[in-house]
Every structure is written in C-alpha cells, then in structure tokens.
A = this chain, B = another copy of it.
Amino acid sequence: MALNIRGYAAQSATSPVAPFTFNRRDLRANDVDIDILYCGVCHTDLHVARNEWGNARYPVVPGHEIIGRVKAVGSDVRNFKAGDLVGVGCMVDSCQHCAPCQQGLEQYCLEGSTLTYNSLDRQDKSPTYGGYSQSIVVREQFVLRVPDQLDPKSAAPLLCAGITTYSPLKHWKVGLGQKVAVVGLGGLGHMALKFAHAMGADVTLFSRSPGKEQEARRLGAEHVVISTDADQMKAVTGQFDFILDTVPHQHDLNPYLATLKLDGQLVLVGLLEPIDPPLAAGALVRKRISVGGSLIGGIAETQEMLDYCADKGITCDVEMINIEDVNTAYDRMLKSDVRYRFVIDIASLG
C-alpha cells in the first residue's frame, strides 16, 4: 500500500477543492505506476466536485487529462517501462469482454467503464482518484503513449477534450469537401476547430457573441456565424453536412438544425441533460437529418488521436496554473474566461 499520496479533493458539494492525503493500492501485475506531471481541468471536474450530476462519492479527487512519467510497472506489463511519457484519460478500466469492449469502444462498455475518478476499482472496490494528485496506478491497457513530438503540458487536454471531439469527427467521416460547423468555443470547441480543419473540412464556428473571428480563424475556422443574429443564421440555411455541438448546458438546437443539409447530422458532446427547448421532429423528417451524441473515444482511438496530433502538430491551447489556483480556475471556466483549457502543473503540489 502506497501511503500518504498528496492530492487535492472536494469533500462535499459546497467545499472548495483542497489539499487531501490518501493511501493508494499497490501495483498489480498488469498495472503501471505513474508520477503525474500535468493535469487538465475539465468541466466534468467541476460538475462532479460540486455534485451537479448527483453521483459524487466524496472525497472526489478530480482530473482525467493526465500526463505523467512511468515510475514502475507490474510484472506482466510489456508495453511500458520506467521513464516513459504516458497519458491517462477518462477511463482506467472496463470489462474487456462485452461487444463494445471487444470493438475497442471501452467508453461504451456494457458493464460500465471504470472512470478515472469518482468510480470504484473493479477488483477491490476502492475509490478511484484522479489526476489532481502526485501519482496514479492504472491498468496497462488504459495507459496511452505520449509521442515525443508533443509538448506534455499542452497535450494533457487531448486526453478528454481532444478525443471527445476527434472521435465523432472520425466516426461520422468528416473530411475534404465537407462543410462542418462547431457550436461553442471552449476547451472542446477549440479542439474541434483544429481537428475538423486538419481533416480537410471547410469549418465554421457558431458563436453567441461577436469578437471571436480572429481567434476562430487562428484555430482553423474559415467562417464565424453569430448564432444570435437572425440574418447571419438565415444566410447559412441548409449549408452544413455535420455540426459538432460542444455546449455543456441546455440550449436551443432548432436554429442549428435549419443550417444542416439533407442527410445532415448534429452530434452532441457536451450536453447530458434533456434537450429543451424540444427538438422539432418536423425538421428531422423534412431533411432526413439526425441528432446524436458521442462519448469520449476508445483507448485505441485515443492513441490514434495522440499520434495524429504528433503528426499534424496539433495540441491544445492551455493556460498553466498551480494547483492551489484550481478553485479560481473553476470560477473563470464558468465565465468562459480561459483560452482554452487550464492545465495544472502538478509540481506545484510541492
């Protein structure tokens, strides 16, 4: 048993994320022991720390955009060795035998994947603690290799924001000759612009407020449409093959449906609540369009995404913080005051 691991945790829905010391299970034969270097700050961290989804198991040590260096490996581990630069995303285990797991889609594990934090270990039922800590022990199959070409700090958010946007763009075969729109310019949205552009699509950002044109263009958008401007929205009626909606709270999807072509698809990656205002079924029927969702990505696809990023020179735009500033970062994130992802320098744990 590894004792006195230092981290930061929320102890209740109303308490700030604060220093927390815990004991950690020993390394199993197929585990990798990772010294954490950097951890991205995802909107999910805030949702769970504040129990906004009603499923928090306190204490909650958030963080699932983890970059670290392998410290030790279990006796059966063959693919990693001490010193390797590695990543851990949203999952640390799954059943490995259901149909989705067999297809490399562990995020859709029929038994439920084990999440990096706020979950229970499949073997000993101990709580899982995330990346706001010195170290983590993860089953080999859920450890990603971080290519040397990637800057480790700005690679951290690839493990959630990156794969969450990359996976649906690949699944729905976004590419050259297609018109793609991204709703929302946050941690996910800025990655969606980069990926859709890299995949060859003609990319538009839908934004609620003006002033983001220059940033959007820098990130890969060809066009910016102000979604609150009726004339601008009308001008793009029936334009898009695919819309990736990254907004993490309820909003009206119907104006976006109007901008889809025949057979267009809108995919939600941020929203988990009921779709309200309600979707107009007539809009779906009259253009044979679909509204769907997508959840992060599988482990093999996450590795593919990291390699793709190394090949294309893609990383996240990040703002580095010390861990004692994480509560301030949450407040700023709620005001969209971040370009575009906070990343914690875990060295600041001291």
* A contacts, CB < 8 Å to B: 99-100, 105, 108, 110, 171, 238, 262, 265, 268-269, 271-295
Whether B108 contacts A288 by the Cβ 8 Å rule is yes
Q: 6 closest pairs, A vs B, by CB?
A: A284-B293, A285-B293, A290-B292, A274-B278, A272-B282, A290-B290
| Assembled-state Cα–Cα distance A289/B265 (Å) | 12
| Assembled-state Cα–Cα distance A171/B288 (Å) | 10
Q: Is the interface of A mostly helix, strand, loop or mixed?
A: mixed
Residues in B with CB closer than 8 Å to A265 are 290
Q: Select one of B105, B279, B287, B288 contacting A274, CB under 8 A.
A: B279
Residues in B with CB closer than 8 Å to A282 are 272-273, 293
Residues in B with CB closer than 8 Å to A271 are 281, 285
Given the known inter-chain contacts A99-B262, A110-B238, A238-B110, please indicate yes or no for A288 contacting B281, CB distance below 8 A.
no
Residues in B with CB closer than 8 Å to A286 are 108, 293, 295
Whether A274 contacts B280 by the Cβ 8 Å rule is yes
Given the known inter-chain contacts A110-B238, A238-B110, please indicate yes or no for A279 contacting B288, CB distance below 8 A.
no
Whether B284 contacts A268 by the Cβ 8 Å rule is yes
Q: A100-B262, A271-B281, A286-B293 are in contact. List 6 more A-B contacts (CB 8 A).
A: A108-B262, A273-B282, A275-B280, A275-B281, A285-B293, A288-B293
Residues in B with CB closer than 8 Å to A292 are 284, 288-291
Q: Select one of B105, B171, B295 contacting A285, CB under 8 A.
A: B295
Residues in B with CB closer than 8 Å to A290 are 265, 290-293
Given the known inter-chain contacts A105-B262, A108-B288, A238-B110, please indicate yes or no for A281 contacting B272, CB distance below 8 A.
yes
Given the known inter-chain contacts A100-B262, A105-B262, A275-B275, please indicate yes or no for A289 contacting B293, CB distance below 8 A.
yes
Could you jot down 25 A-B contacts, CB within 8 Å?
Answer: A105-B262, A108-B286, A265-B290, A268-B281, A268-B285, A271-B285, A272-B285, A273-B281, A273-B282, A275-B279, A275-B280, A279-B291, A281-B293, A283-B293, A285-B295, A286-B293, A286-B295, A287-B293, A288-B292, A288-B295, A289-B293, A290-B290, A290-B292, A291-B291, A291-B292
Residues in B with CB closer than 8 Å to A289 are 292-293
Name which residue of chain B comes closest to A272, CB basis: B282
Name which residue of chain B comes closest to A274, CB basis: B278
| Assembled-state Cα–Cα distance A36/B295 (Å) | 53
Name which residue of chain B comes closest to A253, CB basis: B281
| Assembled-state Cα–Cα distance A292/B281 (Å) | 8
Whether A281 contacts B274 by the Cβ 8 Å rule is yes
Residues in B with CB closer than 8 Å to A274 are 277-281
Residues in B with CB closer than 8 Å to A273 are 280-282
Name which residue of chain B comes closest to A171, CB basis: B288
| Assembled-state Cα–Cα distance A100/B280 (Å) | 21
* Closest beta carbon of chain B to A80's beta carbon, Å: 29
Residues in B with CB closer than 8 Å to A105 are 262
Whether B279 contacts A279 by the Cβ 8 Å rule is yes
* Closest beta carbon of chain B to A171's beta carbon, Å: 7
Residues in B with CB closer than 8 Å to A272 are 281-282, 285
* Closest beta carbon of chain B to A136's beta carbon, Å: 24
Residues in B with CB closer than 8 Å to A283 are 293
* Closest beta carbon of chain B to A197's beta carbon, Å: 23
| Assembled-state Cα–Cα distance A73/B100 (Å) | 58
